Amino acid sequence: MKLYKKALLIMGVGLSLSSCLDLDPQDQLADGNLWSTPSDFEYFANTFYGWTRDFKDVVSDGPHSDWRSDLMTSKSVNVYSHGNNAIPTSDDNYTKAYDHIRRTNILLEKAQGYGGSGSIAHYVAEAKFFRAYSYFDLLQLYGDAIITTSPLDIDSPEMNAKRNDRSEVTDLIVRDLQEAAADLPETPDEEGRLTCWAAYAFLSRVALYEGTWQKFRNNEERAHELLDIAAKAAREVIDGGKYELFKPASLGTEAYRYLFILEDVQCNPAGLTKSANKEYILSRRHDEALYPIGTNVTKGCLANTMYINRKFVNMYLTQNGLPIEKDTGNDGFQGYDDMDSEFENRDNRMANCLLKPGQQYWNNTSQNCRWGGSGKPMTCEPAGSGYMNQKWATERLVNDEYEGYDYPVIRYAEVLLNYAEAVYERDGQISDEDLNLSLNETRRRINPDMPALTNEFAGLYGLDLREEIRRERTVELYNEGFRIDDLKRWATAEVEMPKDILGVKYTGTEFEEEWADGKAVAKDADGCLIMETGRSWGTKNYLLPIPADQLQLNPNLGQNQGWEN
C-alpha cells in the first residue's frame, strides 16, 4: 500500500498552471524520498507514454491529422484545411507540450542527485526521448520555441524569455535522441516500452522534417547536415534487423489492410494476432477489455464518413508501376467510365484502403460483422465524394469505441521511406540498391508483380524520382497523420492546399446513371464532383499562431509571421 501511494503521488506530480511554461506546485516536489529507487523513476516515466499520438489525434481533427490536409474533407469544412483559422485565445497543444517538457525535466533533475543502488539510465533516456518528442511537436506547429532544460520556478528568467530559434530547438531534439538511443535497450524490458531503435527511428523523422524544411527555404548547408543525420539514423534501424514489414503469405494482397486492425481476437481470415506484427516500432497499445481505443474509429472512418479527394486516389500507380496518365494501355489504367473501372490494374493498396462501388464489406455491428456473429456483408453504395474509406475500420463484432488494435506511433514502413527521401534530398540522387532496401519494399509489399522503381525505369518512362518518392510516402502513410506536415516541410502547401477537393468523375460515367444523389452536387469542367471549394493558404499558415493568452503572459514570445494583426 505504501508503494502504491508513492506511485500515485509520483504520477500525480506535474499538475499544471495556466502558463506557457507550466509550473508544478512546489510542495509536491520537495520529498526527496520519492526519488530513492529505480522504481520511483520508472513510475514517473510511465506517465510519458500517454503523450504520444493516438487514434483520437489522427482520425479526428488533431493538428497533424489528414483532415487538415488536401487528402479529404467532410460535410463540415475544417477551418485549418480551408485556411481560415484565427488566433485562438488559448491552445492546449502549446501548453501541454510545455507541461510535458517540465515533467521530463523534473526526472532529469532528480537523476542528477540520485545516489541509490540500481541503474536509472533507462528512465533518463526515456525522459530525453519524450522531451525531444514534445519539442518536436512545438517545432512543427509553432517553429521557434523557448528552450528549458530544468524545471522552472515562477521567477525564472525563462518565464519572460524570447523564443529560441528553431535551429537551436532542432539541435536539442537531435542531441536528446542521440543520447537516448545510447542508453535504451535493443529489446524492450516490457512490451510497448522504448528501445534504441525507436529513438533512431524518431530521429530519422525529426532530421528529415527539419532537413527538408531548411532545404526548400534555401539553407542548403544546414539541410545537408540534417539529411545526413536522418539517413544514418534510418539506416541504423534497417541494419539492426529487428523490424520488418507485415506481409504474411496467408493474407496475400490483403496484408496491408489487416495490419491496421490486428487484435488478439479473430480479426482476419488467417487468424493472426498482434504477435505477428513486427512492423510497429512504437505504438499506443489498446485492448478491448483493459484499454479500448476510446473513439469511434470504425464508424468514424468507414465508407462515406470521409470525403476522400480525387487527387489522392489518382496518386495510386497502376500494376505496371506507372502513374495513371502514363499507362493507358489495355493492361494499364482503365479510365472512369464504370463506377469501379479506376480500381482495375491499380496498386493493391488502393483496394486495401478504399471500398469500390458494389463491393461487399463488413463493419462492427451484429447484423453486418464478419467475425463474432452470424451477420452478412453490406454492399458499398456510392455516397459522399464517391470514394469510400475502409482503413482503420474493423470487421468484427465489437462495441463502438472498444476496438483493441494498436496505433502505430512509429512503424518500420515510415523509416524505410524516411531513408529513401533523406538519401535523395541529401545527394540529389539515389542508387537502385538504396531504393531496393527502402521504397521498393513498401511499394511491393502487396504488389509482388509491380516493377521495382529504379533509375533506369524512371528514365525510360520520364518519371521524376522526387515525385515518386513523395507519391510512395503519401500512399503508404495515408490517414496516419503525415500529409499536412509533409506539405509544410516541402514548401508546397501554398500550391496544393488551395485546390478544390474533388470527388469521382460523374458526368458521362456510370455514376450519372446509377447515383441519383450525385446530380445535386456541383461539378467542375471535367464533370467531377466538387466537395469543397474556396480554400486558401498563405505563408502564415505554415505555422500556427501563438495563442493570445501566452502573449499576454509573455509579450517577448513574439507572434509568428503573418499573424501579427
Q: pLDDT at residue 360 above 90? A: yes
Supply the mean pLDDT for the chain.
Answer: 93
Q: Which of 149-153, 175-179, 252-256, 408-412 has the lowest mean pLDDT?
A: 149-153
d(CA 276, CA 505): 40
144, three cell numbers: 521557434
* Best CA proximity match to 72, nearest among 506, 348, 389: 389
In a domain, 69, yes or no: yes
DSSP for 335-347, please give it.
-SSSTTGGGTTB-
Whether residue 425 lies inside any domain: the answer is no
> 121-130, 149-158, 282-291, 395-404: lowest mean pLDDT where?
149-158
CATH code of the domain in which 117 resides: 1.25.40.890
Residue 97 lies in a domain: yes
Q: How many domains does the chain have?
A: 1
**74 falls within a domain:** yes
Read off the pLDDT of each residue in 79-92 and give the average, rounded to a whole number.
96
C-alpha to C-alpha distance for 334 and 347, rounded to whole angstroms? 13
Residue 31 pLDDT class (50, 70, 90 cuts): low
Q: For the whole model, what pTM was predicted?
A: 0.94
455-489: burial string, b at 16+ Cβ within 10 Å, e else: eebeeeeebebeebbbbbbbbbbbbbbbbbbbbbb
pLDDT of residue 484: 98
Q: Do residues 227 and 425 make contact, with C-beta atoms less than 8 angstroms apart?
A: yes
**Strands (DSSP E) along 384-489, which ranges?**
388-389, 407-411
In the prediction, which pLDDT does 152 show? 80
The verdict on residue 203 lying in a domain is no
Asked if residue 120 is part of any domain, the answer here is yes
Would residue 344 count as lying in a domain?
A: no
pLDDT at 192: 85
Confidence at residue 422, expressed as pLDDT on a 0 to 100 scale? 99
The confidence score (pLDDT) of residue 372 equals 84
Per-residue pLDDT at 12: 39
> Domain of 50?
2-184
Would 46 be classed as within a structural domain? Answer: yes
Cα separation, 321 vs 458, in Å, equals: 10
Segment 418-470, tens digit of pLDDT: 999 999 999 999 999 999 999 999 999 999 999 999 999 999 999 999 999 99
Q: Which residues lie below 8 Å from residue 411, measured CB to CB, with a gap of 6+?
A: 279, 280, 281, 283
Phi and psi torsions of 410, nearest 5°: -140, 125
Lowest mean pLDDT among 86-95, 182-191, 383-392: 182-191
Check pLDDT > 90 for residue 112: yes
What are 367's three cell numbers?
447484423
Give the model's pLDDT for residue 408. 97
